[in-house]
Amino acid sequence: MINFGKIMVVVLFVVLFGFMNSWAQQPKAQQGSPCAFSKIDQDQNGLISSSEMQAYHDQRFNELDKDKSGHLSQEELEADTTKMHHPADKDKDGKVSRQESDSQFKEYFQQMDKDSNEQVSEAEYTDYWKLIYRF
């Protein structure tokens, strides 16, 4: 049974990667270029490794961390219209550290990587988002 907190985390992860429901439901030819999978798959081998996902995540965190303090302050969290980092604040101190954000990222990657091979195929990636959009 999935609890409400986990559902919210997964939904917020969708926002992290800039997806919209229409993207996941469009045929591949209409997904646009470059699609998010291709953006993350830096070596274009058709698989997203944990290091590629981490690099994308780092880039996203750095974009949000305007003052380059290594954590997202309350002001930075409020400025983030996606609200996707709020569940990462595990210690409830009103800010999200790099460690908290990385931990949240690892949960997301593990949920995507159904066969636990440390790589996410385009099928796993697409299936994950289709599952998320059912909620």
Tell whether 121 is covered by a domain: yes
Tell whether 116 is covered by a domain: yes
Tell whether 27 is covered by a domain: no
Higher pLDDT, 18 or 107: 107
Token reading at 38: 């291709």
Tell whether 42 is covered by a domain: yes
Residue span of the structural domain in which 88 resides: 33-132
Residues listed for the chain: 135
Question: How many Cα atoms sit within 13 Å of 93 on the Cβ side?
Answer: 8
Higher pLDDT, 12 or 67: 67
Number of domains in the chain: 1
CA end-to-end span of the chain: 14
Q: Full-prediction pTM beyond 0.85? A: no
Tell whether 66 is covered by a domain: yes
Tell whether 89 is covered by a domain: yes
CATH value at residue 120: 1.10.238
93-113: pLDDT as tens digits: 989 999 999 998 888 899 999
Q: Are the beta carbons of 37 and 50 closer than 8 angstroms?
A: no
Tell whether 17 is covered by a domain: no
